[in-house]
């Protein structure tokens, strides 16, 4: 069953959720890749949803879309940002998928005569999926979602326990992430929660090999010895994971604590010391920027940064490329509808305005207002997916004079549906996984701003939408200065619009943020932040504003 040469690292979490298991797995992946190993990372999610695509972003955070069109956990975004892999639908599976597969097999009669049970049928399905996703890699890091002690994560823990037995202890280890809280009243770091969570792991037959302790201050040797004593792990394998100012400092911080040394030793992997120069540069760039810009994001999900995880990171990457700190301000677009003075002031202050992807009508008019402000004030503007659709509506209304211009998503009765439902979507009834998802090509207009940014005529980006630019309006918009400069060749679907008479005004139907990495910032985000910087300098009298976006 096992693939002979792959080494497995299971990452489990204890004490509480939100300790950064995904980031820890990703940072460990970065360290092992920097040692020359071929690494993949897999996330097993214990919830019953088939995928997170049907969950509210408030509940779950961002839905991360893979090239092959899977709607997955946002941790996959961390994996792609820290390790040079391109994940696929195999890198994330849920209890829902596992049960669905087992029940379908049962209905087909594949277990005929047998009683279908959690052990071995569900656990076998989990193991098969984990192994298939790891195939051909030197190392597979497998993150087990949830916290030790959760009822729903038990089958996954059990599958991991069995898998270690199947592949041999020398080929699989457990890294357990816990919390070591500082209790101010006692003036002490407390190890008891860690002890308890390791006991819970032991109850289900799992002895962790390495314990990573999330903490707000370094663990003393005494604390490490204490954890070692109670948890049967040598002190050198008790690792401090102190809070970092930037997530990109994590690989180096964990390396300094010896995490990757301990992992390769425990797995008997012979490899070179890691080359961490690229990560050191990222950390230095982040800590010592030359400039700062403020980007206002006008959206609906303003309470949770998690809802726009990849977008946040991509903006930071754009900052790295320009040696500039990016201050992000979330603006509830509904406030713009009610004429809120502070919201208006935020737009006036902004060095750049971004309208992100989204669904549903709430806040739409405010988003359109944000586009209008950016267009009229020549503030750099970036519209992503729904943001691009808002840009088209705004232009049609206020430049073409089509006052009722709208998207079919919000106003089916409008006579000017400049954004309408895609043909292929008209027959779709089910909600899960039915949008236009994943990577599609766009052909870019020679000389357009996006062509210059990418340096290529044909690009591939990831999508997640049901509605599209209505080609019936393409010519009118072109005549008045909004140009379709990226088009999908198969569907003639508009992927990019630019406004000619504006320093930087770009709308894209796809989600470029999914493909941006700290070591390889996305060209559109680099360009957007570059334009923000130029705009800021022009306002403070430091330099002239950037020229027209469209050369052709």
Specify the stretch interacting with ligand GLN by CB under 6 A; choose among 50-58, 66-74, 464-472, 486-494: 464-472
Decide: is 453 part of the binding site for ligand GLN (CB under 6 A).
no
Decide: is 301 part of the binding site for ligand GLN (CB under 6 A).
no
The least CB distance from residue 93 to ligand GLN, in Å, is 23
- Closer CB to ligand GLN, 164 or 300, in the complex: 300
Q: Write down the catalytic residue from 62, 313, 495, 513.
A: 513
Contact by Cβ (8 Å): 377, 458: no
Q: Find where tokens 């909004």 sit.
A: 482
Looking at residues 347 to 376 of the shown chain, list those that interact with ligand GLN (rule: CB under 6 A).
357-359
Nearest CA among 17, 9, 47 for reference residue 134 = 9
- Has 513 been annotated as catalytic? yes
Name the token pair of 461. Answer: 């980006």
Q: How far is CA 101 from CA 50, 106, 112, 124, in A?
A: 10, 9, 15, 11
Backbone phi, psi, residue 319, to 5°: -65, -40
Q: Where does 421-497 have alpha helices with state H? A: 449-454, 474-479
Render the burial of 429-448: b for 16+ CB within 10 Å, e for the rest: eeeeeebbbbbbebbbbeeb
Specify the stretch interacting with ligand GLN by CB under 6 A; choose among 88-96, 217-225, 463-471, 529-537: 463-471
The CA angle 459-452-458, to the nearest 5 degrees, is: 20
Contact by Cβ (8 Å): 532, 352: yes
- Closer CB to ligand GLN, 101 or 421, in the complex: 421
The CA angle 472-477-481, to the nearest 5 degrees, is: 160
- Closer CB to ligand GLN, 134 or 389, in the complex: 389
Name the token pair of 377. Answer: 């004030």
**What is d(CA 418, CA 222) in angstroms, rounded to the nearest whole number?**
66
- Closer CB to ligand GLN, 351 or 408, in the complex: 408
Decide: is 495 part of the binding site for ligand GLN (CB under 6 A).
no
- Closer CB to ligand GLN, 361 or 551, in the complex: 361
Contact by Cβ (8 Å): 328, 312: yes
Contact by Cβ (8 Å): 212, 178: yes
- Report the residue from 142, 386, 405, 531 that binds ligand GLN according to the rule CB under 6 A: 386
Decide: is 467 part of the binding site for ligand GLN (CB under 6 A).
yes
Beta-strand runs (E) in 321-455:
324-332, 352-355, 381-384, 406-407, 417-421, 436-444
Decide: is 473 part of the binding site for ligand GLN (CB under 6 A).
no
- Report the residue from 11, 385, 417, 439 that binds ligand GLN according to the rule CB under 6 A: 385
- Report the residue from 465, 474, 502, 536 that binds ligand GLN according to the rule CB under 6 A: 465
Name the token pair of 245. Answer: 């100012």
**What is d(CA 76, CA 81) in angstroms, rounded to the nearest whole number?**
9
The least CB distance from residue 510 to ligand GLN, in Å, is 9
Decide: is 409 part of the binding site for ligand GLN (CB under 6 A).
yes
Edge-to-edge order in the sheet of strand 417-421:
406-407, 417-421, 467-469
- Closer CB to ligand GLN, 378 or 466, in the complex: 466
The least CB distance from residue 308 to ligand GLN, in Å, is 11
Decide: is 530 part of the binding site for ligand GLN (CB under 6 A).
no
- Report the residue from 362, 378, 398, 466 that binds ligand GLN according to the rule CB under 6 A: 466
Looking at residues 53 to 92 of the shown chain, list those that interact with ligand GLN (rule: CB under 6 A).
none
- Has 255 been annotated as catalytic? no
**What is d(CA 279, CA 260) in angstroms, rounded to the nearest whole number?**
15
- Has 465 been annotated as catalytic? no
User: What track of x and - describes contact with ligand GLN for positions 228 through 267 (by CB under 6 A)?
Assistant: ----------------------------------------
Contact by Cβ (8 Å): 106, 51: no
At a CB cut-off of 8 Å and minimum separation 6, what does 78 contact?
Answer: 22, 23, 25, 26, 247
Looking at residues 532 to 551 of the shown chain, list those that interact with ligand GLN (rule: CB under 6 A).
none
The least CB distance from residue 358 to ligand GLN, in Å, is 5
The least CB distance from residue 466 to ligand GLN, in Å, is 4
Specify the stretch interacting with ligand GLN by CB under 6 A; choose among 136-144, 364-372, 449-457, 465-473: 465-473
The least CB distance from residue 482 to ligand GLN, in Å, is 18
The least CB distance from residue 73 to ligand GLN, in Å, is 17
Q: Write down the catalytic residue from 60, 420, 465, 511.
A: 511
Q: Write down the catalytic residue from 385, 408, 463, 522.
A: 385
**What is d(CA 526, CA 544) in angstroms, rounded to the nearest whole number?**
19
Name the token pair of 452. Answer: 């210059």
Contact by Cβ (8 Å): 334, 362: yes
Task: Give how many residues touch ligand GLN by CB under 6 A.
Answer: 10
Decide: is 464 part of the binding site for ligand GLN (CB under 6 A).
yes
Q: Which residues bind ligand GLN (CB under 6 A)?
A: 357-359, 385-386, 409, 464-467
Query: What residues are annotated to the active site?
Result: 385, 511, 513
């Amino acid at each position: 069953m096992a693939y002979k040469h792959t080494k497995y690292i299971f990452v489990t979490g204890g004490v509480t959720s939100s300790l950064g298991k995904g980031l820890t797995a990703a940072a460990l992946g970065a360290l092992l890749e920097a040692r020359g190993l071929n690494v993949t990372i897999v996330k097993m999610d214990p919830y019953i949803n088939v995928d997170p695509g049907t969950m509210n972003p408030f509940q779950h955070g961002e839905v991360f879309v893979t090239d092959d069109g899977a709607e997955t956990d946002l941790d996959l975004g961390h994996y792609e940002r820290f390790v040079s892999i391109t994940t696929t639908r195999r890198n994330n599976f849920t209890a829902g998928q596992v049960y669905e597969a087992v029940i379908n097999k049962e209905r087909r009669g594949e277990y005929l005569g047998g009683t279908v049970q959690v052990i071995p049928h569900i656990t076998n399905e989990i193991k098969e999926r984990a192994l298939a996703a790891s195939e051909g890699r030197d190392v597979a890091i497998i993150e087990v979602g949830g916290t030790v002690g959760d009822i729903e994560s038990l089958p996954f823990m059990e599958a991991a326990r069995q898998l270690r037995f199947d592949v041999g202890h020398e080929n699989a280890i457990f890294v357990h992430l816990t919390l070591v809280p500082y209790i101010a009243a006692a003036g002490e770091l407390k190890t008891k929660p860690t002890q308890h969570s390791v006991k819970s792991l032991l109850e289900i037959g799992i002895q962790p090999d390495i314990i990573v302790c999330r903490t707000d201050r370094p663990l003393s040797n005494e604390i490490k010895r204490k954890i070692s004593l109670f948890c049967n792990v040598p002190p050198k394998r008790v690792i401090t994971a102190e809070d970092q100012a930037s997530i990109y400092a994590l690989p180096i911080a964990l390396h300094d604590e010896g995490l990757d040394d301990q992992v390769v030793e425990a797995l008997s992997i012979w490899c070179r010391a890691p080359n961490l120069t690229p990560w050191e540069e990222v950390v230095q760039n982040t800590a010592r920027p030359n400039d700062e810009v403020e980007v206002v994001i006008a959206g609906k999900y303003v309470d949770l940064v998690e809802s726009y995880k990849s977008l946040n990171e991509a903006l930071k990457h754009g900052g790295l490329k320009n040696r500039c700190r990016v201050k992000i301000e979330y603006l509830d677009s509904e406030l713009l509808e009610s004429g809120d003075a502070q919201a208006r002031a935020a737009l006036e202050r902004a060095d750049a305005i971004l309208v992100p992807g989204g669904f549903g009508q709430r806040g739409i008019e405010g988003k359109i207002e944000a586009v209008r402000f950016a267009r009229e004030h020549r503030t750099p503007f970036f519209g992503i997916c729904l943001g691009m659709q808002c840009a088209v509506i705004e232009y049609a209304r206020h430049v073409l004079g089509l006052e009722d211009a709208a998207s079919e998503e919000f106003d089916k009765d409008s006579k000017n549906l400049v954004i309408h439902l895609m043909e292929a979507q008209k027959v779709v009834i089910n909600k899960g996984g039915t949008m236009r998802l994943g990577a599609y090509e766009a052909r870019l207009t020679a000389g357009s701003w996006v062509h210059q940014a990418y340096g290529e005529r044909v690009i591939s980006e990831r999508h997640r939408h049901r509605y599209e630019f209505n080609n019936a309006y393409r010519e009118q918009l072109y005549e008045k200065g909004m140009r379709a400069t990226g088009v999908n060749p198969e569907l003639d679907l508009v992927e990019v619009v630019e406004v000619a008479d504006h320093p930087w005004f770009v709308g894209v139907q796809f989600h470029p943020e999914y493909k941006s990495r700290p070591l390889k910032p996305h060209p559109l985000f680099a360009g957007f932040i570059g334009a923000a910087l130029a705009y800021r300098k022009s306002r403070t009298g430091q330099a002239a504003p950037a020229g027209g976006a469209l050369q052709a």
